[in-house]
Amino acid sequence: MNRKPTLAVVGATGAVGTVMLQILSQHADIWGEIRLVASPRSAGRKLAVRGEDLEVLALSEDVFDGVDIAMFDVPDEVSAQWAPIAASKGVVVVDNSAAFRMDPDVPLVVPEVNPHAARVRPRGIVANPNCTTLSMIVALGALHAEFGLRELIVSSYQAVSGAGQDGVDTLRRQLKLVAGTDLGTRPGDVRRAVGDDTGPFPEPVALNVVPWVGSVREDGWSSEEMKIHDESRKILGLPDLKVAVTCVRVPVVTTHSLTVHARFEDEVTVARAREILATAPGVVLFDDPAAGEFPTPADATGTDPTWVGRLRRALDDPTALELFVCGDNLRKGAALNTAQIAELVAGERNSS
């Protein structure tokens, strides 16, 4: 194929869509036409991409005419309906919803970890993992390739933007109520100050941490925890990997952080793990506590890589490593990985 491929961005006006357009303007320009698509409510708006203003089109069957690849960032039910329609017209859909991630006929792809999987897509759909999985999996994929992963025990520190703009707006409203006060020391004082204004969260998130992300699943698990469990296994190709997760929301705007206890097949050394992480694509090793170096959301926000620090061998288990990872949940956690998959598929078309 000599013609440059045509790309559709479905959900172009959302928080992740906005970052997608920034990335398309920053990355090497491999695309022919770019078509912006959103709900009828947003149709007609103009958005800048690659330095030109494009009018947003309303989602319909016709918008996929002549499209080669489409990046979707829309609610699960919208993807469930529209991705198969686009695929039936020959479009390769890269979907960032949860609708198809665990479908055995849909590959779940992280280009640094399992790029080969994107080539086999019986339904014409490639799924993008959940933002929390993506915030750690590049670093873990690199370590797995060397040491052979056996078990993951993970705790998250998740940013409010994982719940969309409503999550960000809610934290900002709550921060205005608590800043400049002496709240946080007496029983119930934060809850009284915030009242019922908890937005998409079940509890106040300012001056608080909330050990609940997602909806209720069996036996006390949250949907977010099950996603990390199931998606890690699928991406790494380890259907029996032991994965224990607790997801917690924290009052941070952008960037998900995770503590990881990773147990491998045999003894590991920090020296070798450092070599691997220092050269792994998509990873920044930032790890010298004596010099004040360890990653935080304040470092990772707005950047592409997974930041890794606090690397230690477990004190009582020579087969396990401890690490702390940070990843921008809107970039690598969503828009960037989706764009990388689209670029991977476009490259495969060019080389075929």
Binding positions for phosphate: 101
CB 110 within 8 A of CB 305: no
Applying CB under 8 A, the span of 68-76, 86-94, 127-135, 184-192 interacting with a second copy comes to 184-192
- Pick the binder of a second copy from 172, 195, 275, 348 (CB under 8 A): 172
Applying CB under 8 A, the span of 78-86, 92-100, 136-144, 170-178 interacting with a second copy comes to 170-178
- Pick the binder of a second copy from 121, 144, 227, 229 (CB under 8 A): 229
Least distance in Å: CB of 265 to a second copy?
16
User: Which residues, at least 6 apart from 293, have a Cβ–Cβ distance to it below 8 Å?
Assistant: 286, 287, 309
262-to-21, 51, 150, 191, 320 alpha-carbon distances in Å: 35, 44, 8, 36, 5
Contact positions with a second copy (CB under 8 A) in 123-152: 151
What is the rounded CA–CA span in Å between residue 240 and residue 231? 12
Two tokens at 144? 């797995």
Q: Is 229 an active-site residue? A: no
Q: How far is CA 314 from the centre of its chain?
A: 27
- Pick the binder of a second copy from 216, 239, 351, 352 (CB under 8 A): 216
Nearer to a second copy, 44 or 289 (CB): 289
Two tokens at 103? 């479908």
Find tokens 């998900």 and name the residue: 256
Binding pattern for the stretch 262-291 against a second copy, x by CB under 8 A and - elsewhere: --------x----------------x-xx-
Two tokens at 15? 């928080």
- Pick the binder of a second copy from 66, 155, 238, 276 (CB under 8 A): 155
Nearer to a second copy, 95 or 287 (CB): 287
Applying CB under 8 A, the span of 1-9, 110-118, 125-133, 178-186 interacting with a second copy comes to 178-186
Q: What is the CA radius of gyration of the chain?
A: 21
CB 168 within 8 A of CB 133: no
- Pick the binder of a second copy from 210, 277, 285, 335 (CB under 8 A): 210
144-to-152, 159, 320 alpha-carbon distances in Å: 11, 26, 12
- Pick the binder of a second copy from 43, 89, 124, 189 (CB under 8 A): 189
Provide the total of helices (H) and of strands (E) in the chain, helices listed first.
9, 14
Q: Is 131 an active-site residue? A: yes
Least distance in Å: CB of 160 to a second copy?
9
Two tokens at 340? 């990388």
- Pick the binder of a second copy from 39, 58, 221, 276 (CB under 8 A): 221
Closest CA to 327 of 343, 308, 312, 311: 308
Contact positions with a second copy (CB under 8 A) in 52-81: none
Nearer to a second copy, 6 or 208 (CB): 208
Binding site residues for substrate, as ranges? Answer: 158, 249
Q: In terms of residues, how long is the chain?
A: 352
Least distance in Å: CB of 64 to a second copy?
32
Closest CA to 222 of 236, 231, 212, 230: 212
Q: Is 157 a binder of a second copy (CB under 8 A)?
A: yes
Residues forming the active site: 131, 256
